[in-house]
Amino acid sequence: MEDPIQRHPTRAEQLDILASLVASRVASRVEDGAPVLDLGFGTGYVAHLILAKNPALSIVGVDRKAESLAGAREAFTGSNVTCVEGDLEAIHDLALPAGPFPAIYSVLTFHDLPDAAKRAVIDWSAKNLAPGGYFLLYDRLRMTDAPLFPLQQGIWSRIEREFGAGMRTAPDFDSYIDDLGTDNRPASLDEYRVWFAESGLAFQPLHIHGNVALMAGARR
C-alpha cells in the first residue's frame, strides 16, 4: 500500500517507530485477540504498516469519511480489520467494540479536531486503555514562539534538501499563525503534556522532528 500522505517526508521513520511499538510491545499484552484502535483511520496506511510487522493483530479503525473506509474495507479483506464510520468529535457515541484496548493510536488527525474534542478523545482513550496499555499520538505540533520560528524554517529547508519534498511551510511566523484554521489547529507539546496528565496518563514524547511529534501516554 502506498503512503497517501506525501507532504510529510519525515513520517516514514516516525510511523515505523509507532508500528514497531504496536506490533511488538503492545502485541505482547494482547489477550483474547483484543483489538487495537486507530482513531482517524483514513485508508488504513498505518494499520497496513502494523499488520506487515504482526499479521496476528486485530485493528479497529474509526473515520468519518465513508469513501476512505470503503477503500480500506476492500484493501483489508481477509485481515482482522474492522472499519467504523463515525465522528471523533462525538467519541462517546461511536459504535465501537467494548474495550479495554491494549493500544489506541491516532495519526495526523488531531489537528483536525477542536481542542475540546482533542481533550475528550484523550480522556476517553485514557479510560478505555487496558492496564499496561498505551495511547500513541502522532501529529503536527503548534509552534508558539516567534523567535524560534526561523529554526523550524531551517528544519523545513533541510527536509526539502534531504527528501526532495517539502512539508507545509510558512514564510514567517505571522503567516504561520494566519494559516491556522479549522482544518489546521495543532496543539502545542505543552498543551498535550497538561491534557494527558489531566486524564491520568503519564506523558512521554517518543520522537520529535521539528514540529511533528510521536507522543505516548500510559495509565498511571
Ligand X SMILES: C[S@@+](CC[C@H](N)C(=O)[O-])C[C@H]1O[C@@H](n2cnc3c(N)ncnc32)[C@H](O)[C@@H]1O
Interface residue list for ligand X (CB under 6 A): 4-5, 40, 42, 45-46, 63-65, 68, 87-89, 107-109, 112-113
Q: Which is nearer to ligand X, 4 or 132 (CB)?
A: 4
Give whichever of 120 and 130 is closer to ligand X, judged by the CB atom: 120
CB 109 within 8 A of CB 139: yes
How far, CA to CA in Å, does 82 sit from each of 20, 59, 67, 127, 197?
Answer: 21, 6, 15, 21, 30
Helices 11-21 and 45-53: crossing angle, nearest 10°?
A: 50
Asked whether the CA dihedral 188, 194, 195, 200 is positive or negative, the reply is positive
* Closer residue to ligand X (CB): 200 or 209: 209
Name the residue among 139, 120, 106, 124 with its Cα closest to residue 37. Answer: 106
**CB of 4 or CB of 154, closer to ligand X:** 4
Q: How far is the CB of 170 from ligand X (least distance, A)?
A: 19
Instruction: Output the residue with the shortest Cβ distance to ligand X.
Output: 42
* Residue among 5 and 146 whose Cβ is closer to ligand X: 5
Phi (first) and psi of residue 59, to 5 degrees: -130, 135
Q: Which alpha helices (DSSP H) does the chain contain, by range?
A: 11-21, 45-53, 66-75, 115-128, 149-163, 173-179, 189-198
Task: Tell me how far the alpha carbon of residue 64 is from its chain's centroid.
Answer: 15
Please state the closest distance from residue 187 (CB atom) to ligand X, in A: 14
Q: How far is the CB of 41 from ligand X (least distance, A)?
A: 6
Minimum CB separation from ligand X for residue 180, in Å? 16
